[in-house]
Amino acid sequence: MFDPYRQIYSYPVEALPKRMGDALYAVTGSTKASEALVVPIILSAAAAAVQGVADVQKPYSCHEDRMPTSMFFAGIASSGCRKSSALKQVQGPFEEFEQGLLQAPLDDACEAAEASHHFLLEEATEQGVVDLFRSGAKSLFYALDEGALLFDKRLDVAALCKRFDGATIRHTSRKEGAIFVTDTRASMCMLTQGVTFDRVMKKKGDVLVEAGLLPRMLMSFCSDASAPAGRFFTPAAVPGQYEALIAPFHERLRSLLRQYARSLATPSGKRQLLILSPQAANLWTAFAREMEYEYASSSLWRDVEVFVRRAPEHALRLAAVLHYFSSGDTQVSETAVQAACRVVMWHLGQAKRAFGEPPVEIRAQQLAGMLYDYLVRALPVAGPSRISRSQVLRCGPPELRKAAHLNLALHSLRNAGQISVVYQKGKEEIVLINPPPSMLSYGIPGAQRLWP
């Protein structure tokens, strides 16, 4: 069983199809953003393009049991991590669609129709989204480089959950009465700063988790899990190298958006139904059973059970996106499912580390690191070699201002021989001895690409 505290590794970029992998290296190379930030941007853009033309069928279900290929991603990164720059490099084809530049020619028998609409949502109220769908749009992309706008002012949890599910919109307006819209799709790439996300979680974190919005998102905490760009491929430093790498990705987005535009202009236009091959269906079923019977029931994962139970659905949708974006074939391959499961497991580890409770020994290690960092900073001000326990409780990091947490950190550092505790005039003082040993790093050796 995967342990996200002891098996920390970089984003499984080798699981991406070639066009997505090349786009990743182009964006990371030109912006210096981390892979953990850029990959969700690329995947959400691919899902936004695929969702308008294809749905996926859950294995061993009836033919009409369609599931959207929409995906919700959230990237949490500090200021200066190049969120806006990375997102801007990916969304160009969507802007072309909005300008009417990607309307595909229709047959002579069909009259030309206006097949473009506002596609990218940056600041969107629920009423504005409903009006877009009512005007004829069937697919939208929440592309938010400042997710604080959605969190702070316009967060409609129930409505966003319905957008992810592709549910029928039942909206009541005082002026227009009941509004009824069916068969709509929406994907999301929500990027926000860590301080904003922490503030929102303190106010309404329980609601966001229990209502199902955060479990519907594949989350990436980029400051915690970032990895240097170009681990598998470093392009030559020549003019136009990044444009050439990302061009096939953009062209595939344009092709899918043209296909979507054609369906809007054709009254009988329907989405294709993607079906898993027998081998892919067996692999996905095994993954779903593992999530249900092993992960969801284990003591390590029980506190994030709602995220675990969403993992099979995320894997199914992502497999459909990876396959259709790569080949356009309607039978999803085993390779796509395998790649999707790896990506989803990485995001599941992120959710566990963010929302779950770590084991006692891991928590002690985390608190010990916080205490040592604080001692290194505070001792030159407080004195040559020691600091009082009361000062740590008053002025230390918030996590260490609880006596139980401080005791756990002190016990861990004392056992490691990094500090000693002395008593002087009835006061407990902490004496720094040596720097702590370096943390062990964990990785996946010999990672190989899944896609040709």
409-435 tens-digit pLDDT: 888 888 888 888 888 777 888 888 764
Q: Under a CB-based contact definition with an 8 Å cutoff, are residues 37 and 220 in contact?
A: yes
Same domain, 255 and 328: yes
Say what the pTM is.
0.82
Same domain, 194 and 51: yes
Same domain, 396 and 267: no
Structure confidence by residue, pLDDT tens digits, 178-202: 888 889 999 999 999 888 888 888 8
Task: Give me the pLDDT at residue 332, please.
Answer: 96
Residue at a domain's end among 355, 390, 424? 355
Q: What is the Cα gyration radius of the chain? A: 25
Task: Give me the pLDDT at residue 170, please.
Answer: 83
Residue 55 structural domain: 13-355
Same domain, 27 and 66: yes
Task: Give me the pLDDT at residue 114, please.
Answer: 53
Domain of residue 406, CATH code: 1.10.10.580
Question: How many CB atoms neighbour CB 241 within 10 A?
Answer: 15
Q: Range with the lowest mean pLDDT among 205-214, 252-261, 371-380, 389-398?
A: 371-380
Same domain, 53 and 74: yes
Report how far apart, in Å, the C-alpha atoms of 381 and of each of 259, 374, 378 are: 65, 11, 6
Task: Give me the pLDDT at residue 79, please.
Answer: 78
Same domain, 242 and 95: yes
Total domains in the fold of the chain: 2
pLDDT above 80 (res 440):
no
Share of the chain above pLDDT 70, in %: 85
Measured in whole angstroms, the distance separating CA 210 from the mean position of its chain's CA atoms is 18
Same domain, 106 and 154: yes
Which residues contact residue 402 at a Cβ distance below 8 angstroms, ignoring those fewer than 6 apart?
none
Flag whether 5 is in a domain. no
Same domain, 423 and 288: no
pLDDT above 90 (res 448):
no
- For the ranges 328-337, 352-361, 379-388, the maximum mean pLDDT occurs at 328-337
- The mean of the pLDDT values for the chain is 83
Average pLDDT of the segment spanning 296-304? 87
pLDDT above 70 (res 149):
no
Domain of residue 84, CATH code: 3.40.50
pLDDT above 80 (res 162):
yes
Candidates 159, 193, 199, 160; CA nearest to 179 is 159
At 333, list the tokens: 């391959």
Average pLDDT of the segment spanning 116-139? 87
Report how far apart, in Å, the C-alpha atoms of 452 and of each of 15, 19, 48, 447 are: 10, 11, 24, 14
